[in-house]
Amino acid sequence: MFTILIVEDDVKLTQLLRTHIEKYGYTAVAVTEFDQVTEAFTQIRPDLVLMDVNLPRFDGYYWCRQIRKVSTCPILFISARDGTMEQVMALENGADDYIAKPFDYDVVMAKIKSQLRRAYGSYASGKNERTVECAGLVLYPERLTLTLHGTTIELSQKESKLIETLMERSSRIVSRDRLLEKLWDEQHFIDDNTLNVYITRVRKKLAELGIEEAIETVRGAGYMLKPVWRELT
């Protein structure tokens, strides 16, 4: 039974979302104290968060950043702001998807189910766990963890997809278009700067494992992952 946390200050909309979510067999919990979103998240430990952008006191971007400090669970923004910049800001602040109001509830549920499948889905049903390995660096996509020499770090879903794509084509150039296609189903509102942000995040995560300068920027072509960590053994 998955639990969805709704962070939306429109009471009527919250109730409609709760009704649709529960109709599909999930548990829906709504935040009522909008200055204690992180506390509610920590207490409820949801599997997915639906987050409005316009909230009392602090906006959804702020709360998304706070949640990302403690969790990699899927976060979907729902907002009346439908501009390109708002969607880019959501992704750069750690969101996994963005749904503009007004929306179709069936579309919302489809996106929720898609994110849950990606984060926790069919992989946990007794099948052998999928791993991606490159020169001793091991990625566990279903756990969202990366391991080297017994040290493990956690990744967000987007970070995991990015490093997986680079690991699968180690020592070869991966084009920016290919990375965008892997990371986002809908590329039309994603600009180059957003991909740069995630490349920077992955470089920082690799640095936590003691791996420096492994992702090379190939100007005009894309990026290449070089297994420089072989020298660490």
Write down all domains in the chain, each with its CATH number in brackets.
3-120 (3.40.50.2300), 132-232 (1.10.10.10)
Q: What are phi and psi of 143, to 5 degrees?
A: -90, -15
Q: DSSP letter at 228?
A: G
CA–CA distance, 41 with 39 (Å, rounded to integer): 5
The angle, 0 to 180 degrees and rounded to 10, between the axes of the packed helices 192-208 and 84-92 is 0
Query: What pTM value is reported for the model?
Result: 0.56
Mean pLDDT, 10 residues at a time, over the chain (233 residues)?
Answer: 90 93 91 92 90 91 88 87 79 87 88 83 50 88 82 86 92 90 61 82 92 92 90 56
At residue 71, the pLDDT reads: 83
At residue 166, the pLDDT reads: 95
Which residues on neighbouring strands pair with residue 146, listed in sequence order? 139, 153
Q: Residue 78 burial by CB count (10 A; 0-12/13-18/19+): exposed, middle or buried?
A: buried
